[in-house]
Amino acid sequence: MTVLSLTDIVGYGAALMTLVTFAQKRMQVMRVSAIAANILFIGYGALGPFYPVALLHLVLLPLNLLRLAEHRRGARLSGEPGSLPLIEQWHRALQEPDDRFNQSDAAHT
């Protein structure tokens, strides 16, 4: 049986977080998981030592942080539902007219 080193564990964690990142549908969640992957890959690169990996993710980390901040700022300004607290999302949804079930639908004639 092979015992994994700390470097291996961090590397597998980074790879798993990258997979989680690619599986996301929402931009904000994708950025947060990408940031976690960046942090893990920086640790992996430093422990390895795999300096090109660490350097790449040292460059990507501030970029992901910047894009996350831009997304949050833009979503907040636009009133995008994902940026609002859940209670505010429900309040807005209740105030908007629901025209999915219109009386003029073919089923009613």
Give residue 74's pLDDT.
76
What is the distance between the alpha carbons of residues 84 and 95, in angstroms, rounded to a whole number? 15
Better pLDDT: 77 or 86: 77
What is the distance between the alpha carbons of residues 18 and 40, in angstroms, rounded to a whole number? 10
> pLDDT tens-digit profile of 20-53?
999 988 888 899 999 999 999 999 999 999 999 9
Confidence of residue 80 (pLDDT cuts 50, 70, 90): low
Better pLDDT: 7 or 2: 7
The token pair that represents 76 in the structure block: 């907040």
Tokens 């390895």 appear where? 48
Give residue 73's pLDDT.
81
Q: With a cut of 70, say whether residue 90 has pLDDT above it.
A: no
What is the distance between the alpha carbons of residues 83 and 62, in angstroms, rounded to a whole number? 21
